[in-house]
Amino acid sequence: MSPFTGASWLDLTPWPGTGSWLTWSARIGPGDPSDPLGAADCELLRAGQIAQPVNAASSAVLALIGVWLILRAQRITSGRWAAAAFGVVTLLAGLGSIDYHGVQSSVAQWTHDGGAALLIAAAVGVPLWRLVQRRAAVPGWSRLRGVALLGSSVVALAAYWAGRSTALLCNPDSLLQLHGLWHMMIGVLAALWAGALWPVAAPVEEAGSSWADHRFLYRIVRTAARLVWRDIDTDDLRDLADGPVVVVANHFGGLADALVLMSVLPRRPRILADDAIWRVPPARWVMNRIGAVAVHRGRSGSTDNASMFATAAAALDDGEMLLVFPEGITRDEPSIGTVHTGAARMAAAADVDVRIVAVGLHYADKAAFRSDVAVRRGGSMVVPASEHPGDQAGIDALTAHISTDLRAAAPDYGGWDEVAALRGVATVVLELVDRRRRVSIGERERLASAYAALPAGMRDSVRHAAESFLASGATLVERRRSTPTARILRAIVWMVALPYAVVGLVVFGIPVLLTWGASKLPLAAAVRATIVPGVALLTFGGAAGVVVGTGAAQRGGDGVGLALSLVTVAFLALAYTADTAVGLFRSIQHRLVPRRNRRRILIEEIEAATGVSVGVAGVGGDAEVGAGMRDEAER
């Protein structure tokens, strides 16, 4: 018996008088033979308030794609409102389909057909209007996108015709409905077409094709990273996809460091890790699977690293990438420790030209669940094979160069008080330019690091200005301005996602609490940063496994498909609504109290102390930030 049987809102028992799928073409609707709702789409009409659960659930996927298109429109510079309107139309089409297949209200026929008509009109009307205006009709068109659109269209049409009630493949009792596939493929087509009409530059954090031989590993790493962190803001690392490369990074977050970097690097890196990890059988299997190289520090009875250097050199000779944390240990201080010679010696041992690239990891809170992290690219150098240092002096010189590049890319502050002050000042300065958008962690860290790199006297003056600003009763976090239209759109998205978030809370409530609890353990922050990703993977994966297993036990393969769809949609909705609620709470909590003149005084004090406000602001990510900052401060 189905676990849903008996529920008034979702009852999977057949409507009285409907049972055999062979007579489906003669069945019309619940109670009234003249009611055409649901008659043409194969799925058995149920006795609960949701007439066709599978078709209604697949319609929800179409609605969520509309939500995603609305959010995507915020990243478009030209035609943002038209792109958002297309997302709204897609959302309405999904909601109309939910009404038609689920609630079956008195206006369901109108909402269903009206939403579909609007979506078709928008998809055809936008390029036609552009042609009338003699503009590029489909600016984001490419051969690959065309193939994807053609293939998706073929699948969608095949699903539509094969999912009709009179089709031979129609099985009304199945939880795998071809008409449901039709709904989801319409969403895919809408997303592909929106990408062609309003293209957005590809995010630099996406991995390149060099992960092709390790796709399964990449999916796990990427999923884990997106689960643990809300936002990963990264510089462009795509040129590291080929050739022998040694990536050196700061080691502030334990396991978190490797997870973040693997999720943004364009190919699988060979990670240099403590051999003590190999002493735990499950961890040994994981480390061998990801191609990690053991570093012997004596914890396992050996300090002989000859084999480690030989393995690293062979990997570089084969054109692979090494990921090295040259500080050797995880640090809880917001500064770079002693950089050891290992990375330089590995590069020197290779027989090919080796590129060494410094990368800095900047955590908003490295031990927190659903926090932000920025990946900043620093300096790089190419060490030709003919110039590899062969003596200790050459190794030391190369190590000093690596240390300089790493300190420029990574957080290197004088203490946690300085971190708070300089990050706060950077936030105020950047939000003075454009308070309508959220300052990303990458922008903030670039500007804060630029302040930290100032001479000691200038840096202290910036800190004193921030302390004076705080003493006036202000906070260094500016509430982001929002237009009424944007607020309405966010409210609509939030309300649509909320019911699915409730399901997500039921399924993932315990994993959320356990992961949050792990982030609050009375341990060093670096240790918690290692524990949190592991707890998240185990608990969230376990909860999803329970739901999928229950579906399999109840309905076999059909139940697996339905359960996978349920947990995916529920988790995405839960993550979105929770992050939105937290952001709203923080914006209220950190509402800026003083008048605008206090911000102007802060900026003037910083400029007087440094004399390089425009230049430093340019380091923050925009050459015009300095001028905009001055204009805003004067208003």
Domains of the chain, CATH where assigned:
21-197 (no CATH), 209-412 (3.40.1130.10), 417-479+593-634 (no CATH), 484-589 (no CATH)
Angle between helices 484-519 and 557-589 (to 10 degrees): 100
H or E stretch at 432:
helix 416-433
pLDDT bucket at 201, cuts 50 / 70 / 90: low
Cβ density class 179-198: b for 16+ within 10 Å, e for less: bbbbbbbbbbbbbbbbbbbb
Residue 355: count other Cβ atoms within 10 Å of its Cβ: 18
pLDDT at res. 588: 60
pLDDT bucket at 433, cuts 50 / 70 / 90: low
Write the CB contacts of 461 (distance below 8 Å, at least 6 apart in sequence): 605, 606, 608, 609, 610
Q: Which of the two residues, 598 and 560, has the higher pLDDT score?
A: 560
pLDDT at res. 527: 81
pLDDT bucket at 257, cuts 50 / 70 / 90: very high
Mean pLDDT (whole number) for 603-614 = 54
Query: Encoding tokens for residue 349?
Result: 């041992």
pTM of the model: 0.60
Range of weakest confidence among 209-218, 428-437, 499-508: 428-437
Q: Is the pLDDT of residue 37 over 80?
A: no
- Give the single-character DSSP code of 46: B
Q: Quote the CA–CA distance of 87 and 197 in Å, as a whole number.
A: 12
Range of weakest confidence among 89-103, 190-204, 254-268: 190-204
The owner of tokens 């630029």 is 450
Q: Is the dihedral of CA 65, 67, 69, 72 positive or negative?
A: negative
Mean pLDDT (whole number) for 575-601 = 62
Alpha-carbon Rg for the chain in angstroms:
28
Q: Tell me what the pLDDT averaged over the chain comes to.
A: 78
Q: Quote the CA–CA distance of 98 and 92 in Å, as a whole number.
A: 10
pLDDT at res. 608: 59
Q: Quote the CA–CA distance of 161 and 564 in Å, as a whole number.
A: 25
pLDDT at res. 434: 59
Residue 167, by phi and psi: left (phi above 0), alpha (psi -120 to 50) or beta? beta
Query: Encoding tokens for residue 478?
Result: 């500016």
pLDDT at res. 24: 35
Cβ 252 vs Cβ 331: under 8 Å: yes
Q: Is the pLDDT of residue 57 over 80?
A: yes
Residue 625: count other Cβ atoms within 10 Å of its Cβ: 23
Cβ 323 vs Cβ 343: under 8 Å: no
Query: Encoding tokens for residue 481?
Result: 């301005």
Residue 556: count other Cβ atoms within 10 Å of its Cβ: 11
Q: Quote the CA–CA distance of 414 and 449 in Å, as a whole number.
A: 11
Strand pairing report for 269-274 and 293-295: parallel
Query: Encoding tokens for residue 353?
Result: 């030209």
% of the chain beyond a pLDDT of 70: 76
Closest listed residue to residue 102, CA positions, set 52, 27, 59, 42: 52
Q: Quote the CA–CA distance of 90 and 350 in Å, as a whole number.
A: 55
State the amino acid at position 351 in one-letter form.
D
Highest mean pLDDT among 70-84, 372-386, 417-431 belongs to 372-386
Q: What is the pLDDT of residues 265-294, one digit of tens each?
A: 999 999 999 888 888 878 888 888 888 998
Cβ 540 vs Cβ 226: under 8 Å: no
Cβ 180 vs Cβ 54: under 8 Å: yes
Write the CB contacts of 327 (distance below 8 Å, at least 6 apart in sequence): 250, 251, 336, 337, 338, 339, 340
pLDDT at res. 119: 92
